[in-house]
Structure 1
């Protein structure tokens, strides 16, 4: 249903090549990122108390096209339950419908990946068999460190600490991957493709303009039934936990090994708000504003619990899916402590 090669081609063209850098400089950046990622493993373990086997998930230092290709592979896995559901309901596409439809969706996915491909610094992909993979996008890291005027050595280690924390989360907590994929399958079970296609565009236009209540939303806000939104609320709680935990770790470890961490965080938070009007619009429509809220709210939750009970008791959150915080508990750490501890 999606022409993935077209998505890669469109995304690569839109993302652009990245900053000007000599071949020797590029080699040095790649080598430093690999070293920093390896160094981060023990730093994350010591700070969090989570023990993950080393080198279980391979590290790839990639350029923008490499990140885009890797994400088409991940999307293919993540969308497979929904594609299967739509095929079951409507039958497989054939003929002209298949040829044209796959290229349209390929171009749309490529446009999204092209926008993100110039911004993402790193990513842990838990759905890559057998144990996931860690991606660091070298040109974007160089671009942002230059934009912020950050010390390159400090900034690269800071980014690696965040992404290595995600690797530890999924490899030290082996049920997390299956739990998230199970939620995606539940979401697919709730999918009603005819209803989605009939009124999805109308609701999307209303949301991006501002609905009756004046609130603007993202794609996820407007294309979901109440049941889907319930699942999305659960996933929002989980993703807020994962992103907030990684932010707390990178800033908590930082002062001992990254002299300029406080200044990096200050400048980086300003950058996260988006640049011009078009950038802010695309961030809102694609749900990136909600993603930024996950970093902020999740970090407040983690700090709130750790300050109250300590890191060891906080780590109970990783013992069982029932211990994961709800979206409401992310905003109320004391409620999670009361329920779980």
Structure 2
């Protein structure tokens, strides 16, 4: 498909729903180079070996008991778009149930959703997918091979080393959801509350605030485990990846801000500072108490005052 095909897919958006999801998938893929997925047997074994090593190291460092997903997908960008179209569809279902959308609004919604997926598909390296709001209890681990290779080459680092670093990060998320069976339901509930409110033209600020706070804990704890479990040096990888993100130019920076990428970076940094402080004052096992129950999640205030959380949870 070409960019022209993408435009045609959006223009042809149809149906009575807020978004024409088939058109979203076609348009996003039309605007995105799929990327090469010419994996050797050594490449495939490399991904599997990295995930196994990450699981063993993270179990040892964290003391958490968890499994990695049965399904580990090494994808190109189009595969990633198809998987995430389904996630978007599930998340926005309440909006579609509550209102009929005229053609212009449907076309706009279809175009903006497709643009978002296309932009992210060109940048995402790996993803742990807990399949929120899905009927299945399965969860999955994705690696976008063309992006991993392109990023490693652009940063002048060895592809196997960079791939392993990404594997460790994504497996930390599997550790979190495996250690906290309630976490998926907690996130689903807050997401449903927020989107249901929007479908009635209401803003459920508390639901979205709790969602952001929880995701800050998820990203921050992942950073803590990644730093302490990775079996190689990583300072240069983190520095070069940050430099690469900053060098995307003013248009890329504008798009990232519009899509909330700066907020995600703030989640990483704020959450990491919280868990580093807890682990330094106590230990990694104390930091892991966050996954014992929803009540152990830090509040927004406690994220900036970690010792208040320690006093409440680990006294």
| Matched ranges for 1:197-216 at <5 A | none
Q: Is the 8 A contact 1:183 1:235 kept in 2?
A: yes
TM-score (norm 2): 0.86
Report whether the alignment pairs 1:122 with 2:126. Answer: yes
> Which consecutive residues of structure 2, in runs of 5 or more, have no partner in the other structure?
1-16
| Matched ranges for 1:13-92 at <5 A | 13-18=30-35, 23=38, 28-54=42-68, 56-84=69-97, 87=98, 90=99, 92=100
Report whether the alignment pairs 1:312 with 2:285. Answer: yes
Per the alignment, residue 269 of structure 1 pairs with: 242
Cα separation, partners in 2 of 1:81 and 1:309, compared to 1, 3 Å = farther
Report whether the alignment pairs 1:281 with 2:287. Answer: no
1:7-41 per-position Cα deviation (integer Å, ceiling 9, x unaligned): 112211223233xx683x56543432232122211
Per the alignment, residue 329 of structure 1 pairs with: 302
Q: Is the 8 A contact 1:74 1:125 kept in 2?
A: no
1:244-283 per-position Cα deviation (integer Å, ceiling 9, x unaligned): 21122222122xx22x422112212223335200011011
CA distance in 1, matches of 2:207, 2:266: 18
TM-score (norm 1): 0.80
Per the alignment, residue 198 of structure 1 pairs with: none
Residue-pair matches, total:
294
Q: Secondary structure at the match of 2:127?
A: strand
Aligned-residue CA RMSD in angstroms?
Answer: 2.1
Moved more, 321-330 or 66-75: 321-330
| Matched ranges for 1:289-300 at <5 A | 289-300=262-273
Q: Is the 8 A contact 1:124 1:133 kept in 2?
A: yes
1:285-322 per-position Cα deviation (integer Å, ceiling 9, x unaligned): 11000001111111111111111121222221111101
Shift of residue 107, structure 1, vs aligned partner: 2.1
Report whether the alignment pairs 1:152 with 2:159. Answer: yes
Q: Which runs of 4+ in 1 moved over 6 A?
A: none
Cα separation, partners in 2 of 1:194 and 1:262, compared to 1, 3 Å = closer
Report whether the alignment pairs 1:234 with 2:213. Answer: no
CA distance in 2, matches of 1:125, 1:246: 14
CA distance in 1, matches of 2:241, 2:37: 25
Cα separation, partners in 2 of 1:69 and 1:175, compared to 1, 3 Å = same
Q: Secondary structure at the match of 2:142?
A: strand
Cα separation, partners in 2 of 1:69 and 1:22, compared to 1, 3 Å = closer
Shift of residue 111, structure 1, vs aligned partner: 0.5
Q: Secondary structure at the match of 2:198?
A: coil
Q: Is the 8 A contact 2:191 2:208 kept in 1?
A: no
Cα separation, partners in 2 of 1:22 and 1:240, compared to 1, 3 Å = closer
Per the alignment, residue 184 of structure 1 pairs with: 191
Cα separation, partners in 2 of 1:194 and 1:299, compared to 1, 3 Å = closer
> Which consecutive residues of structure 1, in runs of 5 or more, have no partner in the other structure?
196-224
Cα separation, partners in 2 of 1:194 and 1:188, compared to 1, 3 Å = closer
Q: Secondary structure at the match of 1:136?
A: strand
Equivalent of residue 3 in structure 1, options 10, 20, 38? 20
Per the alignment, residue 243 of structure 1 pairs with: 219
Shift of residue 176, structure 1, vs aligned partner: 0.3
CA distance in 2, matches of 1:194, 1:179: 23
